[in-house]
Structure 1
Amino acid sequence: MIMTVVPPVLIGLLYVVVMSLIREPHRRRFNAVMLAGAGGAYLSGGGLDGWEFAFTAAVTYCAYRGLESWTFIGVGWLLHTAWDVLHHLKGNPIIPFAHDSSLGCAICDPVIALWCFRGGPSLVDLVRSRWGLLDRSQGGAA
């Protein structure tokens, strides 16, 4: 059970840390593009027929609105979470040779969504400010 939950959570946290390296407003826009890509992940054989296209359209809308709104990106990741659960139970896995990959994705995606609902803050900047490590360009010592 732990090995089913911990790696996807760590992947979600790693995603957040890596995305934190991108400065705003590019971080939000890049994440909107990532969401749009994730929305089409099942199109080549997800097993839910025409519903795959309807889902992709819904996530694409969230991604488009996410160009200007972290909330829409978070909603899109939660939609993807629900779609992952549906695929784990009734469809094909997101990675064909990894049976529980959709389950892992369903665990990972809410981690990303929670970060998005918080406004996609830079965790790197948060750690720097907590530890008093200011960027030289901000007048502090690094």
Structure 2
Amino acid sequence: MQYVAPIGVGLLYAFLMSLIREPHRRRFNAIMVAGAGAAYLSGGGLGGWEFAFTVVATYVAYRGLESWTFIGIAWLLHTAWDIVHHIKGNPIIPFLHTSSLGCAICDPVIALWCFAGGKTPRELVEWGIPRESEIHPRSAPHHR
């Protein structure tokens, strides 16, 4: 359950965020990942590296104000930071030893949703269904 629940959390996050209309959805998610980038600051388990990571994460989140790809990259950066903290034994939630591991499992799920453009569930389904014109493309006119 420790490995499955974080996937559910990531899916739930994507579903709830998809209820926000665009362009607000993308901007709100950029702000969310910027906050996640600063989540470890209060613990300070990696000293000055915490500040360096926060600077990088903030820049990438800022670029995410206009790009779902950058939001996805920011979530993957946070995943890497979660793994470092899990290995070091300095979890994101001090009283939950595996919280950084859970976060490292959850964050890539959110990143995948971002790389897909932060679409609603309906848009994702429609996006995955080929259009009639893609199934039976019309013959291209012949040029002589």
Q: Do they fold alike, i.e. is TM over 0.5?
A: yes
**Residue 44 of structure 1: how far off its partner (Å):** 0.3
Cα RMSD for the two superposed structures: 1.7
| Runs of 5+ unmatched residues, structure 1 | 131-142
Distance in 2 separating the partners of 1:95 and 1:124: 34
Per the alignment, residue 138 of structure 2 pairs with none
Question: What is the aligned residue count?
Answer: 128
Is 2:60–2:74's contact at 8 Å kept on the other side of the alignment? yes
Q: In the TM superposition, what are the counterparts of 1:103-114 in structure 2 within 5 Å?
A: 103-114=101-112
Residue identity opposite 1:109 in structure 2: D
Q: In the TM superposition, what are the counterparts of 1:1-142 in structure 2 within 5 Å?
A: 3-126=1-124
SS in 1 for 2:111: helix
| Runs of 5+ unmatched residues, structure 2 | 129-144
Is 2:89–2:97's contact at 8 Å kept on the other side of the alignment? no
Distance in 2 separating the partners of 1:111 and 1:128: 20
Identity %: 74
Query: TM-score normalised to the size of structure 2?
Result: 0.84
Query: TM-score normalised to the size of structure 1?
Result: 0.85
Distance in 2 separating the partners of 1:122 and 1:84: 27
Is 1:46–1:87's contact at 8 Å kept on the other side of the alignment? no
Residue identity opposite 2:45 in structure 1: G
**Residue 5 of structure 1: how far off its partner (Å):** 1.1
The structure-2 alpha-carbon separation of the partners of 1:129 and 1:38, relative to structure 1 and needing over 3 Å to count, comes to closer
Is 1:81–1:106's contact at 8 Å kept on the other side of the alignment? yes
SS in 2 for 1:109: helix
Residue identity opposite 1:18 in structure 2: L
Is 1:32–1:63's contact at 8 Å kept on the other side of the alignment? yes
Distance in 2 separating the partners of 1:121 and 1:106: 22
Distance in 1 separating the partners of 2:121 and 2:51: 34
Is 1:8–1:105's contact at 8 Å kept on the other side of the alignment? yes
Cα shift readout 1:72-104 (whole Å, capped 9, x = no counterpart): 000000000000000000141000110000000
Residue identity opposite 1:103 in structure 2: L
SS in 2 for 1:110: helix
